[in-house]
Amino acid sequence: MRCYIPGGNAQLTEVLAEIEKTHPRAELPPEEERLACARWETWLGHPPRNPEPPLRIVLVLDNLAGHLSYDLVRWCFDHGVMPLYTPIGGSWLNMAESVQRIIVRRALSGQHPKTAQQIIEWLEQTVAGWNADPTPFVWNGKRRRRRERARLRRLAGSGAAMRVCKPIVS
């Protein structure tokens, strides 16, 4: 099988092996008893033809041609990996990336993880903390108003004005 991802299947295999150590497949409940987000059907949009192996991880990929190859997609499904492709030109992605940036910064600030599992746990703890005491994520909030005021100040220049007198027509 040809590898289309930098680090490729070997890197994915390492991540899956790490997950297997902490959450062995034998301990996973049957597909119908799993949380919705841990089921193939949720991500596929229909019941899977073969729910084995169980869904282990969702892998978010962009729409590069190599990521859409049959070999890679088949390898992912055979190893319990659901490839999820970002939409082309999706404006929602800007908000998702902003939220992700906030969560990652809060979770990893000043820390040096040793394993993928540590990163997962820290991200989960950060999200749980944020959900317990949520701060609103507002578009067009304070920052936008501040940028708008600054833009208006730039347009106003020195504040001096010129008065135009109209001639009096008699």
Residue with tokens 């969702």: 58
Distance, in Å, from the CA atom of 166 to the CA atom of 73, rounded to the nearest integer, reads 75
* CA end-to-end span of the chain: 92
Q: Which of 18, 29, 72, 22 is nearest to 54 (CA)?
A: 29
Give the residue-averaged pLDDT of 136-151.
76
Range(s) of the domain holding residue 104:
89-138
pLDDT tens by residue, 39-61: 888 888 888 887 778 888 888 88
Q: Which residue has the higher pLDDT, 1 or 138?
A: 138
Say yes or no: 20 and 39 in one domain.
Answer: yes
Q: Which of 131, 129, 117, 127 is nearest to 56 (CA)?
A: 117
Q: Is the pTM of this model over 0.75?
A: no
Q: Which pLDDT score is estimated for 75?
A: 85
Domain count, the chain: 2
Phi-psi region of 10 (alpha: psi -120 to 50; beta: other; left: phi over 0): alpha
Say yes or no: 93 and 81 in one domain.
Answer: no
Number of residues in the chain: 170
